[in-house]
Amino acid sequence: MAVDLLLGLQWGDEGKGKIVDVLTSKYDIIARFQGGPNAGHTLVFNGRKHVLHTIPSGIFHDDTVNLVGNGVVIDPVIFKKELDKLDEQDVNYKKSLLISRKAHIILPTHRLLDAASETAKGKAKIGSTLKGIGPTYMDKTGRNGIRVGDIELVDWKNKYRTLADKHQAMIDFYNVDIQYDLDELEAEFFSAIETLKSLKFIDSEEYVHQAQASEKSILAEGAQGSLLDIDFGTYPFVTSSNTTAAGACTGLGVAPNQIGKVYGIFKAYTTRVGSGPFPTELFDKDGETMGRVGHEFGATTGRPRRCGWLDLVALRYACQVNGVTELIMMKGDVLSGFKTLKVCTAYKYKGEEITHLPYNIEEQNITPIYTEIKGWDADLTGMTEASQLPEALNGYVEFLEKELNIPITVVSVGPDRKQTIHRK
Ligand code: IMP
């Protein structure tokens, strides 16, 4: 059976956690394939908010298997904290949580390296979540990394020491002021490794192939967004993994011809956290309203998110790169009350009007060209049926469908599981 994908189409924080949770009842297995604790997937149900970082968002469903794939990077310390939260809520994860032996491990010194590198960059910093993501993927591609399967070996601590010592030399080389107590960090790390070892490690690509062969349904849960992809995002202001559809192939071992539906998720406006170009960013009252009404603060770092109008040039690009088959629009409720909405449909680039995403999208290179659309003013948060949606919101949705030539099948009108409207 083909594997379906759910991918963020913007700069992350689109609401993937909520939608995976909503879709989970349709799937036997939910699998993360890239990223790590830089992600913050928020789920709200029964009046409670849950934030997951590395654990797949199907974990609250009893009958679902949750797989952390080979493309993910795991920080045992953060992973343990997530497990502790699940324990507090009596979530029985022991049987349902599986971890690929090929997933890489984030060491305490990876986090320190991240901090040293960002500090050394000064104003040019990426705005990383400082979870050690970049340095861990660097060690992966540099063929120095430590994988989950390694910690089952007797002599893995020698490998750890060699790598951690090398990292320390690199941190010293940066020559920046970073305070840390490595003994303390390592004590916490090794204790968390023991917790990790109590979970089930598997040869996950084999597991996925067997599951497919026995007609099990699988949803691959993306983290971050397409515009943060290491290849297709706004480099260098990106994360260090492939957040796009191809990442699910390498991050799980799924062949490209085994991909089924590709759900693309986007906010009705745009947000970005961290540095980097953002053509439709607003610095006025409208941007401030989006941030306030939409509670736009990072789920992992708490940083305020930058806000702006929907950018269809970027969204179209993300749909193409991912082969999106269905769109899911989030946070339409946040735009309620705007008399007029703007949607960027083209860029002015070197004196010409273009509709594709060019190499340079910094503000000195492009100017967004907007189409104005009538807004709506209604409390959407209690709505449950497509027939209840305001006419102007339907107009907005239909405009986007026409521009992107992809159906918008779900409109989300609030953070709760229940605030989800299926259109077709
Ligand atoms: P890193 O992946 O933590 O190194 O961060 C690199 C860039 O990606 C920074 O601009 C982060 O703010 C951004 N980023 C990483 N993960 C997320 C996420 O889950 N949501 C939104 N932005 C993210």
What is the per-residue pLDDT across 110-127, written as a single tens digit (0 to 9) for each?
A: 999 999 999 999 999 999
Q: Is 52 touching ligand 1 by the criterion CB < 6 Å?
A: no
Q: Are 69 and 33 in contact (CB under 8 A)?
A: yes
Overall residue count recorded for the chain in this entry: 424
Q: Which of 104, 129, 300 to mutate to test the pocket of ligand 1 (most atoms within 8 A of CB)?
A: 129
Return the percentage of the chain with pLDDT > 70, whole number.
100
Q: Is 127 touching ligand 1 by the criterion CB < 6 Å?
A: yes
The type of residue at 362 is E
- Give the integer Cα–Cα distance in Å for 238 and 415: 26
| Residue of 4, 41, 114, 139 with catalytic role | 41
The type of residue at 61 is H
Q: In the chain, what's the furthest Cα-to-Cα distance?
A: 65
User: Which residue's C-alpha comes closest to atom 9 of ligand 1?
Assistant: 128
Q: Which residues of 111-134 are buried (b: 16+ CB within 10 A; e: fewer)?
A: bbbbbbbbeebeeeebebbbbbbb
Q: Which of 13, 131, 239 to mutate to test the pocket of ligand 1 (most atoms within 8 A of CB)?
A: 239
- Does 284 qualify as catalytic in the annotation? no
Distance 275 CA to ligand 1 centre (A): 9
Q: Token pair for residue 399?
A: 């405009």
Q: What is the pLDDT of residues 74-114, one digit of tens each?
A: 999 999 999 999 999 999 999 899 999 999 999 999 999 99
Distance 201 CA to ligand 1 centre (A): 27
- Give the integer Cα–Cα distance in Å for 347 and 416: 35
In this prediction, residue 240 carries a pLDDT of 98
Phi, psi of 253 (to 5 degrees): 85, 30
Q: Is 8 touching ligand 1 by the criterion CB < 6 Å?
A: no
Alpha carbon of residue 408 to chain centroid: 20
In this prediction, residue 302 carries a pLDDT of 87
**Residues ≥6 apart with Cβ < 8 Å to 228:** 11, 12, 234, 238, 239, 243
Q: What is the pLDDT of residues 216-241, one digit of tens each?
A: 999 999 999 999 999 999 999 999 99
- Does 177 qualify as catalytic in the annotation? no
In this prediction, residue 82 carries a pLDDT of 97
In this prediction, residue 24 carries a pLDDT of 94
Sign of CA dihedral 182, 188, 191, 194: negative
Residues of the chain with confidence (pLDDT) below 50: none
In this prediction, residue 300 carries a pLDDT of 80
Q: Token pair for residue 25?
A: 């009842």
Q: Token pair for residue 88?
A: 């507090």
In this prediction, residue 298 carries a pLDDT of 86
In this prediction, residue 175 carries a pLDDT of 94
Q: Is 39 touching ligand 1 by the criterion CB < 6 Å?
A: yes
Distance 138 CA to ligand 1 centre (A): 16
Distance 16 CA to ligand 1 centre (A): 14
Q: Checking phi first, is residue 209 left (phi over 0); if not, alpha (psi -120 to 50) or beta? A: alpha
Distance 128 CA to ligand 1 centre (A): 6
| Residue of 4, 13, 333, 416 with catalytic role | 13
Distance 129 CA to ligand 1 centre (A): 6
Q: Residue 57, Cβ neighbours under 10 Å: how many?
A: 28
Q: Is 135 touching ligand 1 by the criterion CB < 6 Å?
A: no
- Give the integer Cα–Cα distance in Å for 101 and 202: 6
Distance 301 CA to ligand 1 centre (A): 10
Q: Is 224 touching ligand 1 by the criterion CB < 6 Å?
A: yes
Q: Is 415 touching ligand 1 by the criterion CB < 6 Å?
A: no
Q: What is the pLDDT of residues 355-366, one digit of tens each?
A: 999 999 999 999
Q: Token pair for residue 66?
A: 């949750």
Atom of ligand 1 nearest to the CA of 130: 3
The 3 state secondary structure assigned to the chain is CCEEEEEECCCCCCCHHHHHHHHHHHCCEEEECCCCCCCCEEEEECCEEEEECCCCCCCCCCCCEEEECCCCEECHHHHHHHHHHHHHCCCCCCCCEEEECCCEECCHHHHHHHHHHHHHHHHHCCCCCCCCHHHHHHHHHCCCCCEHHHHHCCCHHHHHHHHHHHHHHHHHHHCCCCCCCHHHHHHHHHHHHHHHHCCEEECHHHHHHHHHHCCCCEEEECCCCHHHCCCCCCCCCCCCCCCCHHHHHHHHCCCHHHEEEEEEEEECCEEECCCCCCCCECCCHHHHHHHHHCCCECCCCCCECEEECEEHHHHHHHHHHHCCCEEEEECHHHHCCCCEEEEEEEEEECCEEECCCCCCCCCCCEEEEEEEEECCCCCCCCCCCHHHCCHHHHHHHHHHHHHHCCCEEEEECCCECCCEEECC
In this prediction, residue 301 carries a pLDDT of 84
- Give the integer Cα–Cα distance in Å for 345 and 398: 14
Q: Token pair for residue 217?
A: 């349904």
pTM higher than the cut 0.85: yes
Nearest to 129 by CA among 151, 114, 108, 148: 114
